[in-house]
Homo-oligomer: A and B are copies of this chain.
Amino acid sequence: MTVSEPSETVTSSERAALDQLYTDFAAANLAPLWTQREGLMPNVPQPDACPGVWRWSVLYELAARSGELVPVGRGGERRAIALANPGLPGTAYATPTLWAAIQYLGPGEEAPSHRHSQSAFRFVIEGEGVWTNVDGDPVAMRRGDLLLTPGMRWHEHHNTTDKPMAWIDGLDIPFVRQLDAGFFEFGSETLSTRDTPSRARNERLWGHAGLLPVGAPTTKASPLMAYRWESTDAALTAQLELEDEGFPGVVEPGHAVVRYTNPATGGDALTTIRTEMHRLAAGCRTASIRVAGSAVWQVFAGGGEIELEGELHTLKTGDLFVVPSWAELSIATETGLDAFRFSDDPVFEHLGLDRVNRKEEA
């Protein structure tokens, strides 16, 4: 006995009654579960979002052309070009929860101040010379750095050099849009500060391992808003060295991972987005895993090969790839690989929806 559709032997009067029922459903703004349960509640996640690779060379070239043609300023606010997942047509979403874009700021350009509920970060693949002022605190942006803009903090960027600079932006725009959780405000037309210190005030206050400033308030998102490459590199190097010396630390052989966290709580640096840096030693091949939740990766240094939902892709520095929920992924490298990953894991973990499947070797 099934509910979905009455049996083949339905009479024509039954058929008519059923048709009328569906018509009446529609008129009353109602919809039956039985005709759509499978699509709504698949046995395992069936993302509309596609797995895929976006090439840095293509992104950068288009961003540079935008730099020529499209001025930055109040209105569009930012010269950011987003990964538009072909499985999510009509959107500019990388995944159903994550936004990933290249942002490009020409010599001397300024992106004006605004703030919003959406959590944001910038990760710098190359270049330097832009400062992002977060609540008036000037944060230098340099290669390998992760810079945060937690929800509702004022931020503006300005390029102090005579060269363009590009980086990736990650936000929870799709997630916040879906929840209708977003608030947005424009700030001042003029920069809050033109100071260009090498370390921001938040770094000076919070950037000391294990040492918290007793006089500063604790916040849900990280009060530390810059994670410098020197530290990240040292932390990854240490994990692999410890492995070589026979001690624990890596997540699997040859695979080091650090998570960017709020030093005052140990929780994720942003409330809705997990950020991590992965390093694979030369010759490493990760296990194939599926994770409930979606992620975007960018190769930061070196190169390698991924197998993503059964398809092989060769990756160079700067290339991005999108991993929809439950897509199977393994990464391999002959010469070594650093890759930045961001994901919606915190949402899944807070709500008890997290699940991982690690494929056992044959």
List 26 interface pairs A-B (beta carbons < 8 Å), by A numbering.
A1-B74, A2-B74, A2-B75, A3-B71, A18-B69, A28-B59, A31-B82, A32-B66, A32-B76, A32-B92, A34-B79, A40-B177, A43-B183, A43-B185, A96-B179, A181-B292, A205-B239, A205-B249, A208-B235, A210-B227, A210-B231, A211-B260, A215-B239, A215-B252, A262-B266, A350-B350
A211-B62 in contact given A81-B25, A205-B242, A353-B117 (Cβ < 8 Å): no
Residue interface bits A52-94, CB-to-B below 8 A is 1, else 0: 1010001100100110111111111111111111100001100
| Cβ-closest chain B residue relative to A10 | B69
Do B2 and A71 touch across chains, with their CB atoms under 8 A apart? Answer: yes
* Given A37-B77, A209-B210, A214-B258, 19 other A-B residues pairs in contact with their CB atoms under 8 A: A1-B71, A14-B69, A24-B65, A29-B85, A30-B83, A31-B92, A33-B76, A34-B75, A96-B179, A151-B353, A180-B294, A201-B245, A204-B238, A211-B235, A213-B235, A213-B257, A215-B252, A218-B266, A265-B265
The segment from A123-131, A268-276, A300-308 that touches chain B is A268-276
Residue of B nearest to A41 (CB): B184
A101 contact set on B, CB distance < 8 A: 33
Binding site for B on A (CB under 8 A): 1-6, 14, 17-18, 21, 24-25, 28-37, 40-47, 49, 52, 54, 58-59, 62, 65-66, 68-86, 91-92, 96-97, 101, 116-118, 151, 173, 175-185, 201, 204-216, 218, 220-222, 224, 227, 231-232, 234-235, 238-239, 241-242, 245, 247-252, 256-266, 269, 271-272, 276, 292-294, 324-326, 344, 346-348, 350-353, 355
* A49-B211 in contact (CB<8A): no
Chain A contact residues, majority secondary structure:
loop
Q: Are A86 and B29 in contact (CB under 8 A)?
A: yes
Q: How far is the CB of A124 from chain B (nearest CB, A)?
A: 16
A276 touches B235 (CB 8 A): no
Question: Could you say which residues of chain B place their CB within 8 Å of the CB of A250?
Answer: 215
State the Cβ distance, A115 to closest chain B Cβ, in Å: 11
Between A177, A211, A262, the greatest number of chain B beta carbons within 10 A of the residue's beta carbon is seen for A211
B259 and A212 form a contact (CB under 8 A) = yes
C-alpha gap A46/B178 in the complex (Å): 10
| Interchain CB contact under 8 A, A209 and B224 | yes
Bound CA span A43–B24, Å? 37
Do the beta carbons of B227 and A71 come within 8 Å of each other?
no
- In whole angstroms, what is the CA distance A296 to B251 when docked? 41
Known: A72-B3, A293-B179. A31 touches B84 (CB 8 A): yes
